Every structure is written in C-alpha cells, then in structure tokens.
Amino acid sequence: MQIWLAHIESLSDAQITTLNAVLDSAEHARSARFHFEADRKHYVASRGLLRQLLSATLDTPAAALVIEYGAHGKPAIAAGTNTRTLCFNLSHSAGWAMFALAWDREVGIDLESGIRLDHDENNVAGLAARILSARELAIWSALPDPVARRAAFLRAWTRKEAFAKATGKGVFDELRRFELVLDAAEPNPSLTLRLPSCAEELRGAWLLHDLSAPDGFAAALAIEEKIL
C-alpha cells in the first residue's frame, strides 16, 4: 500500500512540461479543454505524477502505460500479463494532490479543501442533508458550534467520496444509505464499513481511514478488506 501527497502548485513550468510529455492522447485532449491555465496545469501535474508512480511500481515507462476508465470514471491499468492487479486512485484539490496504490484490492482516496465550503452555514447544512444518513445527520446537527460542524462535515465528505471512488459503481447519490461517520462528535480515524444486504453489487467489507492532510484540508482512504 502506497500513499503519496504532492504540492502540485509548487511545480515549475519545466516540471509541468516533463509531466505533460508522458500523458497519452486522450489526456492531452482533456487538458486542452480546460478554460483556465491553472486548472490545466493541475490536471497535467496530477495525471503525470500518477503515471510516474505507476511506472516506478510496475517497472514500465510512464508514457507506455495504458489507463482505462470505467463507466463512472474509475481508472485502471489495462489488462495485461501480470498475475497481480495494481489498483490506484487519485484526488486533487486547491493545489495539492494525493495518490493511493494497492495490490489486488480496490482503493479510493479523496482530498478536499475547506475553501470549497463557503461561510454560509445553511449551505453546509444542505450539503450534509444530501450525503448523511438520518442517524449521521442527527449526530452532526447536535455538534455544539459551526466550526465543529464544518470540520465533521468535511471529514464525512472525504470518507464518502473515497468510498464512492473505491467502488467505481457511481454510488455517491445513494450514500445516505451507508453510515460512515457515526463518530462525528469523537472522531475515530479508522472504521470498518460493512454494507447492508440490499447492496449486493458492493458486498463485502471496506476499511476507511482518515489521512493526514495540509492545514485546512481533510483526506480519507477507502480500501477493500481482504479476508485471508
């Protein structure tokens, strides 16, 4: 299991050019569609760094890697002759990027900046109502002050996003069914999620971990639990 954090905002133009050179034609086309140059650089940096990490792990040239995307955007290395599967995920926000690599188990990672939450408490409450289960929402709403509620919401948001990305099933709109953040008042940095029987397509157990992140950010990892 590998987890990497990169401050992509600090990369030089020369480094961005080097990373751009390892992208494939689809990634070049995607980067060209960004309206703002800063967004284009963030995309190129995060995809280029991902390719370099995969290259080092697989001992394959970064530009030669064939990355495919599932129906809901989950990336994967195209099937080859390797008997093991390297799963990976990435997230970037406000000039930072995080990467997760794991052998033979699905993984998702999410990094979110608190800047994305404006200072309208009603807006945060509306977002919370969209992603928290009824029980989670009751615990969250009972937190004593706006600062605690914002921190707890950011933690919940990253956990649920990481889980949705790990599954690759496009389940984010259904995540109110899944309770990931019952510890809003007393944060527990590691959880095991066992899905309800109604989620047949996601059967199994998932481990959720809060990750260290830069000030003002929250980060989480979701990884498939392997029973030996």
Helix, strand, coil shares of the chain, percent, nearest 5, are 45, 25, 35
Residues 76 and 165 placed together within one structural domain of the fold: no
- Among residues 58, 79, 104, the one where a domain terminates is 104
Per-residue pLDDT of 154-191, as tens digits, reads 988 898 889 889 988 766 666 677 777 666 555 666 66
Q: Are 113 and 94 in contact (CB under 8 A)?
A: yes
108 vs 201 pLDDT, higher one: 108
First to last CA, the chain: 17
Read off the pLDDT of each residue in 100-125 and give the average, rounded to a whole number. Answer: 86
pTM score, whole prediction: 0.89
Residues 87 and 13 placed together within one structural domain of the fold: yes
Output phi, psi for 208, to 5 deg. -120, 130
Residues 94 and 141 placed together within one structural domain of the fold: no
**Res 57: pLDDT:** 96
Here the CATH number for the domain that contains residue 125 is 3.90.470.20
Domain that holds residue 168: 113-224
Per-residue pLDDT of 52-88, as tens digits, reads 999 999 999 999 999 998 877 889 998 765 778 999 9
Q: Tally the domains of the chain.
A: 2
Give the list of residues 6+ apart from residue 224 with CB closer than 8 angstroms, or none.
105, 106, 107, 166, 204, 205, 206, 207
Place of tokens 């996003």: 161
Compute the chain's Rg from CA coordinates: 18
